[in-house]
Each structure stands twice: as C-alpha cells, then as structure tokens.
Amino acid sequence: MINIHNYEIWFLDYAEGNLNAEDEKKLMLFLQNNPQLKEEFASFELISLEKEEISYSKKSVLKHSDHSDKEMSEFETLAIDKIENNISVDNNIRLLELLSDKKNSNAYKILKLTKLKSDPEIRFKYKNKLKKGKNQILTLLKSPYSIAAILILIIFAQIFNNFQSKPELSQNIQNTDLVSNSEKEIVNEKSIKNDIQNQIVTSINKNNLEASLNNERKTESNKKETNFELEEIENSTVTNNNPDTDIVLAEQNIPAIERLKTLSIKNNFVTEEFSNDSKLISEMGINSNNIKSEKLDKKSVDNIVLLTPKEFLIKEVKGNLNIDDKKYNSFDPITTLMAVAEKTNLVDATYINKRNNDQREITLSIGKFEFQRKW
C-alpha cells in the first residue's frame, strides 16, 4: 500500500510504466489526499536519459585470437602458419593467391629465413668434465693424447720400480778394481742413464710387441695358438685392433729404405720428421709450431737403420735386434722420441701436466727437446 514513506517507489514505477490499472488508481487517490507531493510526482516524469553515440576507439587492442598481433596482416598470419606447418588446405590456397603480389612474395622469402638453423660446428668442449663415474676413464682413453700421457706415466712408474729393485746395477760398478773412485762415479752415472734408457725402450717395445702379438693371434685365429711359427709372422700383416695404435703402425709401414732416405736428406731430424708427420704429431698431441729442436749432424743420422714394424717384430722374436735397432725403431712415437733423446746423450725426461681452471698444458721435455701443448 502506498504511503508517505514509500511513495517514491510508486512514483518511479509509474514513470517506468510498471504499475497496473488498479495500482495507478491507488496512486492517484494518494496524490489527491497529499497535494503537496504533486510537484514532486510531476518532476519524476521529466527525468529521462538519452543514449549518446560514444564508442571505444581501441577495441582492436583488446581483442584476442590464436596468434593475435594488432599489426599482423592476413598474409603474415598465413605465411607464418605455413612456416609453422599449421596451415589448412584452404588457407594454403589463399596464401598462394596472396603470394602473386611481388611485395608479399619477397616478404615470404624473408619470413622463411626466420626459420633458424642450428650451427653443428658449435660444440661444447668440456663434456669430459661433466661426466661421472668410471665412464670418465673410458672416455679419457678414447683420446690419443690421454693415452700418450698415461703411457708415459706408466713407463716412468715401471722404471722407478725396476730401478729400486735392482741395486746390483751400481754395486757391480763399485766392486770392480779397474776403476778409480772418481771414475766409478762417472761410470755409475752413465750406467744409470743407460739403464733408464734401455728400460724405457725395452718396456715400451715389450708392451708393443706383446700387444702386436696378441692382435696377430686374434687375426690368425685359425692357426695354432701355441708355438707360433716365425714364418707365419713374416707372411702376415701387422694388425692392431686399437685404432689409436693403428695410426702409428700405418704411418710406420713406410718401407725402411724410404724412411732412411728421408732422414738422410733432412738435417733437422726432429722438426722435419715430426712436423711432416701430422698423424704422429696428432698422436702425441704436439703442435709443430711449439717444437724446439736442436740439429743433429747429418753423419750421425745417416748411421740409423730404420725397420718397419714387421721387420722389427721378426728381428725381436728371432732375437736379432741389435742396440741401434732398439734405439731407433719402435711402434710408438714416445719410444722414437726417447731414442732421439738418447742420440743426444740426454736422458732427463720430464712430463708436466698443468691445469689452471679451464686451461691445460702438457710439456714433455726430453733432454734438450721440449714438446708443449696448450688447450
């Protein structure tokens, strides 16, 4: 029921046309009884808002699509769809139409360039550092440099052990009556040097010989395993399943006479021999630019008789190897280097492996010769 407290609601409902006929009668009766409200009732009728034509001008900014970009044209969208392999058959046809425009065609060529291609030459150099566990050692052994370094360490360890276990070497010299005390010292020193050198050469040769013979046996598996005949070795090819050793073996399979000729012509034995032999350098991890050498006189080099690995093996098995053969022939470059060192009467060989953060430096000094590699 309309009263003095709720009349405004009735006025508003009337203005909006929400009152039925009966309620309108009640309202009119209320106004007759309260004429002071007639003016207010009339003002309600005057209130009305007219729609204004105001629109938001940046609707497009707010819109979204799958790959919305306010500045992306139909052509760009379709072209990128194509590059991304997301294009439908219909859109592909539409794209072909758009590509008839030269400007679009050029733009498409450039868009195709945005498909990045990785550069396989970019490689991570420190994989070995990341590896864990025993595989790290196996990975190390895959590198010829590491093998060379490990071999040197093993050799020196063997020499040290053998030398400690053979005190008779110096005792023999001390017991002789033919030399004076001062002479004893000189002879002793020389004997030790020679002993070290011979042991180096012998141990390497022995290891190589054993390895070669083992491989020989593997390749000749149909032949009898025991009491192998020298003739069989002579007629067989020296093979080795170790790829790292294969390089050296293959390199040394040059006929002995050819190698001798090379050595005879070239005065600078070490530099020429090693800098010309990239595989050997690679095997040793030697950068030829860093090789410091002293010239050997031509005459001394001429007297060296070089053997192929097979010749060396046969002579070794037959027991026909003389001192010079052992000195200047071997299966691996380390032995050759040691032989060169001996040629210059120098036996002090050192191996330094430095590591400073990511920098590594290996220095192999044999007498006056120093081979250095940094990486």
The reply on whether position 92 binds another protein by CB under 8 A is: no
Cβ of residue 77: shortest distance to another protein, in angstroms? Answer: 7
**54 within 8 A of 29, measured Cβ to Cβ:** no
Closer CB to another protein, 110 or 178, in the complex: 110
Closer CB to another protein, 51 or 132, in the complex: 132
Cβ of residue 65: shortest distance to another protein, in angstroms? Answer: 9
Cβ of residue 105: shortest distance to another protein, in angstroms? Answer: 11
Cβ of residue 102: shortest distance to another protein, in angstroms? Answer: 13
Closer CB to another protein, 85 or 320, in the complex: 85
Rule CB under 8 A: choose which of 80, 159, 169, 260 binds another protein: 80
Residue 44: is it exposed, middle or buried by C-beta count within 10 angstroms (0-12/13-18/19+)? Answer: middle
Given its phi and psi angles, is residue 17 left (phi above 0), alpha (psi -120 to 50 degrees) or beta? Answer: left
According to DSSP, residue 289 is labeled: G
Residues in contact with another protein, shown as a per-residue x/- string from 105 to 144 under the rule CB under 8 A:
-xx-xxx-xxxxxxxx-xxxxxx-xxxxx-xx--x-----
Cβ of residue 67: shortest distance to another protein, in angstroms? Answer: 4
**308 within 8 A of 252, measured Cβ to Cβ:** yes
Amino acid identity, position 199: Q
Instruction: Please give the Cα distance from 144 to 328 (Å, whole number).
Output: 22
Q: Over the Cα atoms of the chain, what is R_g?
A: 48
Cβ of residue 193: shortest distance to another protein, in angstroms? Answer: 44
According to DSSP, residue 292 is labeled: B
Residue 42's SS3 state is helix
**Cα 246 to chain centroid, rounded:** 23
Closer CB to another protein, 114 or 303, in the complex: 114
Cβ of residue 142: shortest distance to another protein, in angstroms? Answer: 11
Cβ of residue 151: shortest distance to another protein, in angstroms? Answer: 24
Cβ of residue 96: shortest distance to another protein, in angstroms? Answer: 19
| β-pair partners for 358 | none
The string over 151-170, giving b where at least 16 C-beta atoms fall within 10 Å of a residue's C-beta and e elsewhere, is ebeebbebbeeeeeeeeeeb
Number of residues in contact with another protein, rule: CB under 8 A?
A: 39
Closer CB to another protein, 83 or 247, in the complex: 83
The reply on whether position 215 binds another protein by CB under 8 A is: no
Per CB under 8 A, which region of 49-57, 76-84, 316-324, 333-341 contacts another protein? Answer: 76-84
The string over 186-224, giving b where at least 16 C-beta atoms fall within 10 Å of a residue's C-beta and e elsewhere, is ebbeeeeeebbbebbbebbbebbbebbbebbeeeeeeee
Closer CB to another protein, 130 or 178, in the complex: 130
Closer CB to another protein, 73 or 194, in the complex: 73
Rule CB under 8 A: choose which of 66, 90, 168, 177 binds another protein: 66
Nearest to 280 by CA among 375, 155, 144, 149: 144
Residues in contact with another protein, shown as a per-residue x/- string from 165 to 184 under the rule CB under 8 A:
--------------------
**260 within 8 A of 305, measured Cβ to Cβ:** yes
Cβ of residue 153: shortest distance to another protein, in angstroms? Answer: 24
Closer CB to another protein, 103 or 299, in the complex: 103
The reply on whether position 67 binds another protein by CB under 8 A is: yes
Closer CB to another protein, 82 or 259, in the complex: 82
**151 within 8 A of 334, measured Cβ to Cβ:** yes
H or E stretch at 373: strand 369-374
Phi/psi of residue 273, nearest 5 degrees: -65, -45
Residue 178's SS3 state is coil
Closer CB to another protein, 33 or 114, in the complex: 114
Q: Which residues of the chain form contacts with another protein (CB under 8 A)?
A: 66-69, 71-72, 76-77, 80, 83-84, 106-107, 109-111, 113-120, 122-127, 129-133, 135-136, 139, 358
